[in-house]
Amino acid sequence: MARYVLRRFLTSVVLLLLSSILIFLVMRVIPGDPTLTKLGGTIKDVDPRALEAIRHELGIDRPLPTQYLNWVGGILHGDFGQSYFSQFPVTTLIGQRIGATVELAVMAMLFGLAIAVPAATLGAIWRNRVVDALLSGFAALGMATPAFVTGIVLIIVFGLKLHWLPTQGYVSFQNHPFESVKTTLLPAITLGISVAAPTLRILRTSLLEIGSASYIRTAQGKGLLRRQVVVRHLLPNASIPALTTVGVIVGHLLGGAVVVEYVFARQGLGTLLVDSVFQRDYGVLQALVLIAAAAFITTSLVVDILYGVIDPRLRVNPET
């Protein structure tokens, strides 16, 4: 088990390093110049010396390898650089916004799983009945509808028409827990639906597959109650493909959060990412993409390790 974990860990480190090089190079290749964006097009009579001064201040007048090594060196010392525009350290900017994203992701995940797990179980138990058809319909609709459409409909109905919930902004949980939940509810439902739909489908399919396995028939033949069969035999074996889904969900949450945060004007990491793309704020953009890559790689690592924990066969012979 220890060798298995070590091997997966080293692979993850290499992946992270390659990601950092790719991120750095892609930022430099996309068109647009942060120098000009900093000027905004409103400043006339631009002196070439002003442009030079800005480039030097941003550090983009140095050779690319130097820029990369400076960046990586800073990260290893905990310095992610600073925004080209606001001059805030990247860590400060992330600190200002990470709460909003984490709250959203956690609530969306809880909401999504709270729907998907019982729904998938019911669908597997009452296969081909009306309940199963309705749940499949919900899954199809949830997967087909883009998150921003769901979000806008919820804003119009619950925000504009009924005035039940706020449609934009963020209140931190520490400041006001009740208001925080209120401002997070609509975005969490929006993102949660897009998480629940694929999770429901995958979980239901895996439950059905395992449900027809011989050891399930044996368990039923032994006289175990249905609840006991589902909890002791069905769900644990269905959890392996579900774990894979968790990895997919995390990626989905990261990407979906960008769209949902933008629709609900929520000051999270998603809006920070989008803004830094438009502004070509290399410092912020590189750090955020690297953090997202690290989050995804870490999730995959944890999932791989959990595979080994749940299924001992994978520990013994991980390549099969």
Partner 1 sequence: MSAQRKVLVVAMLLALLATAATVAVTSAAGAPATIKQTTAPLAACKKSSGTLTYGIAGAGVSQLDPNTINFAGQAPLQTLLYNALTKYNSSMVVVPDLATSWRASKDLKTWWFNLRKDARYALGRPFTAEDARANILRVLDPSVPSQARSNVQDIRSVRVISKYQIRIKLGSPSALLPNALVDVKMSDTADVANLAKSGNGTGPYTVSEFIPNQSITLVPSSHWFGGKACIAKIKFVREPDSTAMVTDFKGGNLDMIWQVRPTDVPAVQSSGTYFLQPKGVSGAHVWEVDTTSGPFSDVRARQALNYATDRATMVKAAFFGLATPSFGDDLISATSNAYNKNLKGYKFDLTKAKQLFDAAGVKPGTTFTFWALAGRRDEWITMAQILQQDLQKIGLNLDIRRSDVSTWLGKFYPAGKSYPGYIIGNYFSMPPNPTYALKQGQFGSCECNWKNNTFEALAKKAPGVVDLAARQKVYDQMQSIFSQAAPVVVVAHQTNIVAAQKRVQGAWEDAQGNVHLEDARVAG
59 binds partner 1 (CB under 8 A): no
320 binds partner 1 (CB under 8 A): no
| The only residue of 58, 93, 109, 242 in contact with partner 1, by rule CB under 8 A | 93
Burial label, 204 (beta-carbon count in 10 A; 0-12, 13-18, 19+): buried
| Minimum CB distance to partner 1, residue 192 (Å) | 18
Q: Based on CB atoms, which residue is closest to partner 1, 41 or 221?
A: 41
| Minimum CB distance to partner 1, residue 145 (Å) | 7
Burial label, 59 (beta-carbon count in 10 A; 0-12, 13-18, 19+): middle
262 binds partner 1 (CB under 8 A): yes
Cβ atoms of 18 and 10 closer than 8 Å:
no
Please work out, in degrees rounded to the nearest 5, the angle formed at the alpha carbon of residue 290 by the alpha carbons of 20 and 22.
Answer: 30
221 binds partner 1 (CB under 8 A): no
32 binds partner 1 (CB under 8 A): yes
311 binds partner 1 (CB under 8 A): no
103 binds partner 1 (CB under 8 A): no
| The only residue of 47, 221, 223, 312 in contact with partner 1, by rule CB under 8 A | 47
1 binds partner 1 (CB under 8 A): no
Q: Based on CB atoms, which residue is closest to partner 1, 256 or 299?
A: 256
- Please name the helix (run of DSSP H) or strand (run of DSSP E) that holds residue 98, with its range, or none: helix 90-125
304 binds partner 1 (CB under 8 A): no
Burial label, 77 (beta-carbon count in 10 A; 0-12, 13-18, 19+): exposed
Burial label, 223 (beta-carbon count in 10 A; 0-12, 13-18, 19+): exposed
Cβ atoms of 266 and 100 closer than 8 Å:
yes
79 binds partner 1 (CB under 8 A): no
The sign of the torsion formed by the CA atoms of 276, 277, 283, 287 equals positive
37 binds partner 1 (CB under 8 A): yes
| The only residue of 1, 18, 43, 114 in contact with partner 1, by rule CB under 8 A | 43
Distance, in Å, from the CA atom of 124 to the CA atom of 120, rounded to the nearest integer, reads 6
One DSSP character per residue, 234-278 reads: IHHHHHHHHHHHHHHHHHHHHHHHHHHHHHTT--SHHHHHHHHHH
168 binds partner 1 (CB under 8 A): yes
205 binds partner 1 (CB under 8 A): no
One DSSP character per residue, 116-162 reads: HHHHHHHHHHTTTSHHHHHHHHHHHHHHHS-HHHHHHHHIIIIIIIS
Q: Based on CB atoms, which residue is closest to partner 1, 234 or 259?
A: 259
212 binds partner 1 (CB under 8 A): no
| Minimum CB distance to partner 1, residue 32 (Å) | 3
Q: What's the maximum distance between 2 C-alpha atoms anywhere in the chain?
A: 87
198 binds partner 1 (CB under 8 A): no
| The only residue of 58, 90, 155, 185 in contact with partner 1, by rule CB under 8 A | 155
138 binds partner 1 (CB under 8 A): yes
Footprint of partner 1 (CB under 8 A): 31-34, 36-47, 49-54, 83, 85-88, 93, 96-97, 128, 130, 132-134, 136-138, 140-141, 145, 149, 153, 155-157, 159-161, 163, 166-169, 262-263, 265, 267, 271-272, 275, 277-280
